[in-house]
Amino acid sequence: MSYNDNAKNNFMKMTAPIKTGVLILVVVLLPVLQSGSYALDIKDNNKTQLSNKDWDAIEHCLEIIRQCQMDNGMIRMKGIGEPVWTVPYFSNFAAMSLLAANDLRPNPQDVRRVEKWLLWYADNQESNGTIFDQQGTISSYKSKGKRDADDSYAATFLMTVWRYRQAIKNKPSPKINHAAMKAFDVIKAVTKEDGLTIAKSDYPIKYLMDNIEVYWGLSEGALLFDTVGNKEEAEKAHKMATRIANKLGEYWSEKDQCFAYALNMKNEFSGGLEKPYPHGLAQLFALAHLSPVPIDLWLKVSKKFRPDNNNDNAIPVERWLMAAMNYAGNEEIEQLRQATRDTMLGFSVTNIYVHRPALAILALIDGRARFPEISTNKK
């Protein structure tokens, strides 16, 4: 998701073109999550062996996330004080991090926390499947009538439902399944003729990172729909994901030798490599999730930008770690793992928004906690 207003400068630390050339990307397939005829390309879960130091940092962040959940299931941005504020997109990542840790150290209470979040999401969807941010006090909060992006909110919800289904080893409740179908309808509504999604109907920009997230949501949604017996919708989701994958290579700019971060309805790309956000972060997103990309891009981005947790506009260390797992050497990866652990231990319920500890957990665990890698020449 790419924030379209001033909110992005206040708390967005994880996201999101110049006419570009086409870069064809190829991936070595590792189908470890499979249902019916669909498989996802997920990294080997044994690649990263977690140390006691890793788990100290993970458990510290898990506790922060737990404190961000209210009694009714809503996961707020901060777990203490007022105002109460929730951005469902970020809350989905918080839920996914609980499930990622549960995958390695089972915790039924955390799985129940995720279920409560999914039910809250279902209760707060609009009739067309969209969902709005909410804000207020502990005793009274309501919809703001605003959301940053329909596509990424819905996609990350589908991902969370699929991972929850994996955790319970059973079909989710009819209420959660219905909410997932409504989320799929949201993605359909913002999908354009070329197969890419716009952020929302009143902001028709096709963001690179949003579309990567939508690919994830559709791919994992296809698995979900397949397992609950909705074969027709599973096939639709699979085909839509493939169409997105086939378009992502077009965001590569031969002129700039990096990825554009957005495409408008006039088929004009926006990009460059001037600022950490959105330019630098878009490159790390591509390095982490499109495989492979030119190794020179990692070197170029590493020279231009560095992690800086004291700057709201900088790229957080956990995003560097995700990208480094594909392109950096072992020594640099370990340095970033240590920096990530140190950063995580500095988080508290009062000084950080919920998506930062969530993404740090996903980055540190790696393996199945990570997201499907995308080949842009899927057929």
314 Cβ contact partners less than 8 Å away, ≥ 6 residues apart: 276, 277, 305, 307, 308
Lowest mean pLDDT among 7-11, 55-59, 86-90, 258-262: 7-11
The per-residue pLDDT for 257 is 95
More confident residue, 167 or 11: 167
Query: How far apart (Å, rounded) are the C-alpha atoms in residues 185 and 206?
Result: 18
- Both tokens of 69, joined, read 């959940």
d(CA 375, CA 32): 16
CA–CA distance, 106 with 318 (Å, rounded to integer)? 24
Higher-confidence position of 18 and 352: 352
- Fold assignment, 24-369: Glycosyltransferase (1.50.10)
The rounded percent of the chain whose pLDDT value lies above 90 is 75
pLDDT band at 295 (very low <50, low <70, confident <90, very high): confident
Residues 234, 218: Cα–Cα separation, whole Å? 9
What band does 28 get if pLDDT is binned at 50, 70 and 90? very low
Residue 176 contacts residue 119 (beta carbons within 8 Å): yes
Give 121's contacts (C-beta < 8 A, 6+ positions apart).
88, 91, 131, 157, 179
Q: Report the distance separating Cα 55 and Cα 175, nearest Å.
A: 34
> Would you give the distance in Å from CA 12 to the centre of its chain?
12
Q: Give per-residue pLDDT as tens, 103-155.
A: 999 999 999 999 999 999 999 999 999 999 999 988 888 888 999 999 999 99
Q: Which two tokens stand for residue 325?
A: 């797992």
How far the first Cα of the chain sits from its last, in Å, is 26
Please state, rounded to an integer, the average pLDDT across all residues of the chain. 87
pLDDT one-digit tens code per residue, 215-254: 999 999 999 999 999 999 999 999 999 999 999 999 999 9
Give pLDDT, residue 138: 85
Q: Is the pLDDT of residue 377 over 90?
A: no
pLDDT tens digit string along 254-292? 999 999 999 999 999 999 999 999 999 999 999 999 977
Q: What is the pLDDT of residue 27?
A: 32
Structure-block tokens of residue 190: 């913002």
- Token readout for 93 is 């990542």
Residue 158 has pLDDT above 90, yes or no: yes
Question: What's residue 8's pLDDT?
Answer: 33
In three-state form (DSSP H/G/I as H, E/B as E, the rest C), the secondary structure along the chain is CCCCCCHHHHHCCCCCCCCCCCCCCCCCCCEEEEECCEEEECCCCCCCCCCHHHHHHHHHHHHHHHHCECCCCCECCCCCCCCEEECHHHHHHHHHHHHHHHHHCCCHHHHHHHHHHHHHHHHHCCCCCCCCCEEECCCCEEECCCCCCHHHHHHHHHHHHHHHHHHHCCCCCHHHHHHHHHHHHHHHHCECCCCCECCECCECCEEHHHHHHHHHHHHHHHHHHHHCCCHHHHHHHHHHHHHHHHHHHHHEECCCCEECCEECCCCCEECCCCCHHHHHHHHHHHHHHECCCCHHHHHHHHHHCCCCCCCCCCCCHHHHHHHHHHHCCHHHHHHHHHHHHHHHHHCCCCCCCCHHHHHHHHHHHCHHHCCCCECCCCC
| Best mean pLDDT range from 174-188, 322-336, 354-368 | 174-188
